Structure 1
Amino acid sequence: MNEPKDIEYKNTFYIQLLSKALPTIAIIAGLAILSLWVTPRFRDALWLSWSILLFAVIKTYFIVRLSFDQLMKIIGQSHLLSHILILFGLLITLIIFSFALDFTSLQFFDTKNFKVSSEEGMSGFKIFYEHLYFSTITFSSIGYGDIVPTSVLSKALVMLEVGLRFFVLVFGIANINQIRINENK
């Protein structure tokens, strides 16, 4: 079996994907920690809330880079539909969780960033769950309207998530003709 096709038949694909995804996951986690625990402590510095948007733009860059790198490698070496689906599952999960953390950070920073139809005094986990739901609904472009971004900053984050979703879907569709559906050899 030659080296380029190694990715197709062994666990090499999973090792390679994990090694490429770990730096992106670490960056998302690090920026989430900054957004969730550091930024809200400085509520007097309103300009600091914009760092959440800056962090989201940085995370978006790394997610897009991971998409390009890995998809081109899979198409060049594997062509397997299962590998493409795993990559897109990982990307979608990263996007939804990343933006849910950003939305939660904004909610912690100032409750006026989102109009949420829920009870007062929610726990941090419940707030995160509400924004995970909102991020999932936003990614799927359903938009029920029970959670509404109200500030310029929250609307910018929503637009960034929608733009990233559009990129992932268009990029995947544009490369679909290079995927081999018949995995039997």
Structure 2
Amino acid sequence: MSEEKDIETTAAFYWQLFNSSKYVLLIVLLATAIGLYVLPNIDASYVVIILLALTLSKIGFIIALSFNQLMKIIGQSHLLSHVLVLFGYLIILIVFSFAIDYTALHLIDSAHFKINNSSGSNGLLAFFNMSYFSLITFSSVGYGDIVPITVTAKTLVVLEVALRFFVLVFGIANVNRIRVNNLKT
């Protein structure tokens, strides 16, 4: 089978998706470890700058993944199911990545966010709240029960919204390449 035909099989598609995104996943996991375990334990004024730098580097890798690697996959397989998996994967990656950033920022100083109906500030509850906030921010619903207060928190929100806009434009730009399989009767 040719390489173009191979990618249309489900196993080959997932294998290529994993291969093309393994470095991005590594960067996200490394930034997660730094953001959740190192930064909250540093008592310095520049710790939020480090967090913003980690966020910007993750955004750069996610955009590079979208343009370079995933465009190759879409170029080889235009199946609707593959395109939906690609965008679902990007959305999950972005929401999870920003949830980690929001959680790290909240653990550094809880004054970065105003959270209504909060019942404690342990790490798991903070991650749950910030995952919810990230998903609501990504979907542009914005209920207002969690509000960014500081410039740093607002900057992270703006970056997530900008990345969401990028993914939306990326998706719209590739709609004409989607092919729906015809069923033969």
**Percent identity of paired positions between Structure 1 and Structure 2:** 52
Paired position in structure 1 for 2:19? 19
Q: Which moved more, 1:129-138 or 1:59-68?
A: 59-68
Cα separation, 1, equivalents of 2:158 and 2:18: 28
Q: 1:182 to 1:120 in 2, by over 3 A?
A: closer
Counting matched residue pairs gives 184
What displacement does 1:127 show? 0.7
Return the alpha-carbon distance in structure 1 between the equivalents of residues 132 and 100 of structure 2.
11
Q: Deviations over 1:108-134 (max 9, x none)?
A: 101110001134533210110000000
Runs of 4+ in structure 1 off by over 6 angstroms are: none
Judge conservation of contact 1:4–1:77 (CA < 8 Å) in 2. Answer: yes
**Shift of the alpha carbon at 1:88?**
0.6
C-alpha RMSD of matched pairs (Å): 1.4
Q: Distance in 2 between matches of 1:177 and 1:127?
A: 41
TM-score normalised over the length of structure 1: 0.94
Secondary structure of residue in 1 paired with 2:7: helix
CA distance in 1, matches of 2:181, 2:93: 28
Q: Which amino acid aligns with 2:168?
A: L
Q: Structure 2: 5+ residue runs without aligned partners? A: none
Q: What residue ranges of structure 1 are gaps of 5+ in the alignment? A: none
Opposite residue 53 of structure 1, the aligned amino acid is: L
Distance 1:83 1:183 in 2: 15
Are residues 42 and 10 of structure 1, via their aligned partners in 2, closer, same or farther at CA, if it must alter by over 3 Å?
closer
What is the match of residue 95 of structure 1?
A: 94
